[in-house]
């Protein structure tokens, strides 16, 4: 039994930018409710300047992360799975607060761990599947290799953990860095996941997580000229067209919201959506 006189130590849910956990630059927060409408916690309500700072952090992290060997990125993603597994109970608790039953919450956390492992395995196989050795009429080797596209803006879906992992992991496994707007009504697992990421040898800035209003943050992310791709998984259907329009300013690759069954085996689509193909000619015999 806990000592009745002891005060509970409550966690302050902050943002995750550049490997650190700052409060929103704006100083704002919003109330997150549990499934029954009771008070759960205050989460930071990020502003457009937090978006800007997060993009700066993601851009700064990109050269280092994309230069890691694919094998090393796979190791780090696997490490994320290990760390997540170690916090299983905490995530189950957070998901149950949001209304999931015990079994469903357990399945969701296991699914998230397995999703990291699944994508970790893809790290050093992606080039073999998405790349090619091309036959050419001349004394050259000709290779097409997939390259990360840069910084990816991710509007995470409502599924607070498995959905989040299912959109973040494929974005970063190939060497991209990500700025993620977490599920608006269920942001707490995202920030707890940030604690997992921060202790998994993932370099600071590779994943940046913002909590707050999607409608407020998504347009800034979509129009930001230093963001190279946009995953609209969690965007409201009526906002998609406007966000795509905003993203056209610098020809961002845009992944539209699709089927939302996150428990299914994902396939390679989310990974290849954020790749560019580089083709190299190399003389034979040199």
Enumerate binding residues for other proteins (CB under 8 A): 51-52, 55, 59, 220, 223-227, 246, 249-250
Task: Give the residue with the Cβ less far from other proteins, 58 or 202.
Answer: 58
Tokens 């913002």 belong to residue: 210
- Report in angstroms how near the CB of residue 225 gets to other proteins at its nearest: 4
- Report in angstroms how near the CB of residue 226 gets to other proteins at its nearest: 3
Task: Give the residue with the Cβ less far from other proteins, 9 or 225.
Answer: 225
CB within 8 Å of 48: residues ≥ 6 apart:
216, 217, 220
How far apart are the C-alpha atoms of 225 and 246, rounded to whole Å?
Answer: 10
Task: Give the residue with the Cβ less far from other proteins, 69 or 250.
Answer: 250
Tokens 């920030």 belong to residue: 191
- Report in angstroms how near the CB of residue 26 gets to other proteins at its nearest: 13
Task: Give the residue with the Cβ less far from other proteins, 134 or 250.
Answer: 250
Strands 177-181 and 207-210 turn out to be: parallel
- Report in angstroms how near the CB of residue 243 gets to other proteins at its nearest: 13
Compute the C-alpha angle 232/73/77, nearest 5°. Answer: 65
- Report in angstroms how near the CB of residue 58 gets to other proteins at its nearest: 11
Task: Give the residue with the Cβ less far from other proteins, 32 or 243.
Answer: 243
For 167, how many CA atoms within 13 A lie in the half-sphere containing its CB?
Answer: 34
How far apart are the C-alpha atoms of 191 and 189, rounded to whole Å?
Answer: 5
Task: Give the residue with the Cβ less far from other proteins, 80 or 221.
Answer: 221
How far apart are the C-alpha atoms of 43 and 191, rounded to whole Å?
Answer: 9
How far apart are the C-alpha atoms of 280 and 145, rounded to whole Å?
Answer: 8
Q: Among residues 154, 152, 151, 160, which one has the least CA distance to residue 214?
A: 154
- Report in angstroms how near the CB of residue 52 gets to other proteins at its nearest: 5
- Report in angstroms how near the CB of residue 224 gets to other proteins at its nearest: 4
What are 31's two structure tokens?
């109330």
CB within 8 Å of 56: residues ≥ 6 apart:
18, 226
Task: Give the residue with the Cβ less far from other proteins, 52 or 96.
Answer: 52
């Amino acid at each position: 039994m806990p000592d009745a006189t002891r005060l509970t130590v409550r966690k302050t849910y902050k943002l995750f930018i550049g490997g650190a956990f700052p409060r929103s630059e704006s100083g704002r927060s919003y109330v997150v409710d549990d499934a029954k409408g009771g008070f759960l916690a205050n989460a930071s309500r990020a502003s457009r300047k937090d978006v800007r700072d997060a993009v700066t952090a993601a851009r700064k992290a990109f050269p280092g992360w994309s230069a890691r060997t694919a094998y090393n990125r796979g190791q780090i993603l696997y490490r994320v799975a290990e760390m997540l597994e170690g916090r299983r109970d905490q995530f189950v608790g957070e998901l149950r607060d949001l209304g999931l039953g015990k079994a469903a919450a357990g399945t969701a956390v296991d699914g998230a761990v397995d999703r990291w492992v699944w994508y970790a395995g893809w790290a050093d196989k992606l080039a073999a599947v998405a790349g090619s050795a091309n036959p050419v009429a001349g004394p050259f080797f000709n290779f097409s290799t997939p390259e990360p596209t840069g910084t990816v803006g991710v509007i995470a879906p409502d599924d607070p953990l498995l959905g989040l992992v299912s959109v973040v992991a494929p974005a970063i496994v190939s060497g991209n860095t990500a700025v993620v707007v977490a599920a608006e009504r269920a942001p707490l697992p995202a920030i707890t996941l940030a604690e997992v990421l921060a202790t998994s040898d993932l370099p600071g800035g590779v994943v940046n997580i913002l909590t707050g209003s999607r409608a407020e943050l998504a347009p800034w992310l979509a129009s930001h000229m230093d963001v190279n791709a946009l995953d609209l998984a969690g965007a409201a259907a009526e906002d998609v067209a406007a966000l795509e329009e905003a993203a056209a300013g610098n020809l961002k690759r845009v992944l539209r919201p699709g089927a939302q069954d996150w428990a299914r085996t994902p396939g390679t689509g989310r990974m290849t959506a954020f790749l560019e193909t580089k083709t190299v000619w190399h003389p034979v015999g040199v």
